[in-house]
Structure 1
Amino acid sequence: MVTSSTELVSADHAEFACICECQSIDRDAVVELHRGFFSDQPSLPSKYFYDQSGSELFDEICELDEYYPTRTEASIMGACVDAMVEAIGPAGRLIEYGSGSSLKTRLLLEHMHADVTYVPVDISGDYLEQVAEKLRLEFPRRRIAPIAADFTRPFQLPSSRARQARDVVYFPGSTIGNFGPAFAASLLSQMRNQVGTGGGLLIGFDLQKDPAVLEAAYDDRRGITALFNLNLLRHLNRVAGGDFDLKGYRHIALYNDRDHRIEMHLESCHEQSVTLAGRTRTLSKSERILTELSHKYTIDGFTEMAAASGWQREQIWTDTNEYFAVGMFRS
């Protein structure tokens, strides 16, 4: 049985306290999981992809032949880094949302002034600290100040050593596309509020293209993306009291042409009951759990969305195939 959203939100505090005490998620996360998984269309937050194993699997995905976004964005940055650094200007803090391995950021750090404080923000704290230590060795003159946090919620920034310098959010990888239009706009507004008037945003976003290219990128021949998708269930088993049987699901990736987005699902191979964060539901055979959205944009469409959140476009860089774009915006 699927419990109604009203019942979920009004669950008593004692139940939440018990769940949160036994697991490593907070009350807000329990509400979020219940609202998604126990809805008519079950879904799970894509942020739970990124524990240590998930972050490492994503690094493998970025090396796949089919997965064009990482290498395409890296090629754009390699060709245009001087123009990007000039557009960024004398940043006091470079704040990277969802930093992961910070591979593309290294190129920026090599070219930016020494006083910049690099603030990588990622939900996977252990992995984040490993990456930060490597960066400190590579860039001993840079201040590296990692923050383990869910960047979709407000978080406190460290102090800056630079005076009279603006803050710049760096959001590569088209991660913005993982959110629906309303939430993406809200997140852009949060970034704008964080950096204030005159702040900057350097952001990568994926462009609309042949659906066959898109579907191959999210369903590779080696099955790494499938492992990445299933790891979300393993992570939730550990941190949210889940009892998902990973052998009972298969990876699905398809392009939704109407909404211009890739959808990733986990499809139930048979009827099964699942407990998550203290509640249980039954999944029928072939019922799908939505795990990720990846919206694809036009340059003008993305510019309009950014403008509605207080960002004005300064410059756009793209590759020769126009598969991907990196944009500089000012608040």
Structure 2
Amino acid sequence: MSVLEKHLDEQDLARSLRDDVRVGLTATPKSLPPKWFYDARGSELFEEITRLPEYYPTRTERSILREHAGAIARITEAKTLVELGSGSSEKTRLLLDAMLSRGTLGSFVPLDVSESALSSAVDALGLAYPGLSVTGVVGDFIRHLRRLPDGDGRVVAFLGGTIGNLVPAERSAFLGDLRSVLHQGEWLLLGADLVKDPGTLIPAYDDAAGVTAEFNRNVLRVINRELRADFDPLAFEHVALWDAEREWIEMRLRSLRDQRVHVAELDLDVAFAEGEELRTETSAKFHRVGLAEELAASGFALRHWWSDPQDWFGVALAQAITT
């Protein structure tokens, strides 16, 4: 059985985009949230990025899940698997297969902001797993955690290193909110990219083929289309920097000349100086100890940790506890 619940619609998304663009383009320094990369073209570009030789996170996380999905199923005895920011749920099939083989899983709840991507994934999963109840939730994992179906025996999967797109205060708030909707003993399965040599990190966000650069500029095309702006995407160059103090990658768009941009739907004119940068993404990298401390501060105990032989990526299994 497949069901789609909607807690976001096109008006919600349009209002959110307008608010984010107005705030971000009038701030100093300028910035935009990374979620606006992902229209249909942006999603296609990101799928292409995950197959690039420089982009290790997706294949490394997949290898960890492939090796340890059976153990995750055995430890958690999951009745319901929830996935936040599910997208196509491709990697999640490794968990579904293991949990169904274990014989405990009855339902899968993917949550994503993209109704079209989620609808396609729900339909495909319904066909692939006819005995599984699949309830897709169209929503934002920051705003709509309380819309997740209640129950017991839930495992919440937050994969892909997406936790790194939240700055520390946002991570703390998100983890606290997630803990508040889970019962004691339920689980969080968290994928986290780890701190490593910048020579490995930076090319993952600045590939030789220029796919990530095109992905980065796509946010300008989204604003042009949705808010009737007149950005010239080719007047901005893609920049990826490693901030060693904060231990995160920053993606930016750097203006190649002095220019002015008009955003008609906001009646907003924005000036960019030559060399001025617009931050479009932060991607924090973690140490096991630091991540365990962040989890503990929000009411989660790190019970199991799996990594790859190079320690490039970690998968944490944490349990909701009483603090």
In structure 2, what is the Cα distance between the partners aligned to 1:300 and 1:257?
A: 17
- Asked whether 1:294 is paired with 2:283, we answer yes
Q: Is the 8 A contact 2:152 2:186 kept in 1?
A: no
TM score, norm. by length of structure 1: 0.87
Distance in 1 of aligned mates of 2:11 and 2:232 = 19
1:58-77 mapped onto 2 (5 Å cutoff): 58-77=46-65
Residue in structure 1 matched with residue 295 of structure 2 by the alignment: 306
Aligned equivalents of 1:24, 1:121: Cα separation in 2: 16
The letter for the 2-side match of 1:195 is L
| Counterpart residue identity of residue 283, structure 2 | S
Distance in 1 between residues matched to 2:12 and 2:152, nearest whole Å: 38
Corresponding residue number in structure 1 for 2:125: 135
* Residues 287-321 of structure 1, C-alpha deviations (whole Å, 9 max, x = no match): 11000001111000011011111111110001110
The aligned runs of 1:53-132 (5 Å cut-off) are 53-91=41-79, 93-113=80-100, 115-132=105-122
**What residue is the counterpart of 2:247 in the other structure?**
260
Supply the AA of the counterpart residue of 1:315: H
- The partner residue of 1:203 within 167, 190, 210 is 190
The one-letter code sitting in structure 2 at the alignment partner of 1:84 is I
Show the counterpart of 1:284: 273
SS of 1:198's equivalent in the other structure is coil
CA distance in 2: counterparts of 1:28 and 1:49, whole angstroms: 14
**Alignment check: 8 A CA contact 1:61 1:67 kept:** yes
Task: Sort the Cα spacing of 1:24 and 1:149 in 2 relative to 1 into closer, same or farther, 3 A.
Answer: closer
Question: Per the alignment, in what secondary structure is the counterpart of residue 144 of structure 2?
Answer: coil
TM-score, L = length of structure 2 = 0.89
Aligned-pair Cα RMSD in Å: 1.9
Letter of the structure 1 residue corresponding to residue 181 of structure 2: Q
Give the secondary-structure state (helix, strand or coil) at the position aligned to 1:312. strand
Structure 1 window deviating more from structure 2 (139-148 vs 235-244): it is: 235-244
Superposed, 1:1-331 pairs within 5 Å as 25-91=13-79, 93-113=80-100, 115-157=105-147, 159=149, 165-276=152-263, 277-278=265-266, 279-331=268-320
Using the TM superposition, name which of 133-142 and 258-267 deviates more.
133-142
Change (3 A) 1:238 1:154: same
Per-residue deviation, 1:185: 1.2
Name the amino acid aligned to 2:128: E
AA of the residue aligned to 1:34? R
Contact 1:97 / 1:151 at 8 angstroms: preserved in 2?
yes
- Give me the whole-angstrom Cα distance separating, in 1, the residues matched to 2:242 and 2:107: 39
How far has the Cα of 1:139 moved from its partner? 1.3
Q: Identify if the C-alpha distance between structure 1 residues 136 and 247 changes in structure 2 by more than 3 Å, giving closer, same or farther.
A: same
List runs of 5+ in structure 1 lacking aligned partners: 1-21
The CA deviation at 1:70 is: 0.6
**CA–CA separation in structure 1 for the residues paired with 2:11 and 2:111:** 23
**Structure 1 contact 145–158 (Cα < 8 Å) conserved:** no
Give the match for residue 17 of structure 1.
none
Shift of 1:47: 0.6
* Distance (Å, rounded) in 2 between the aligned partners of 1:134 and 1:191: 27
Q: Which residue of 2 aligns with 1:10?
A: none
What number of residue pairs does the alignment pair up? 306
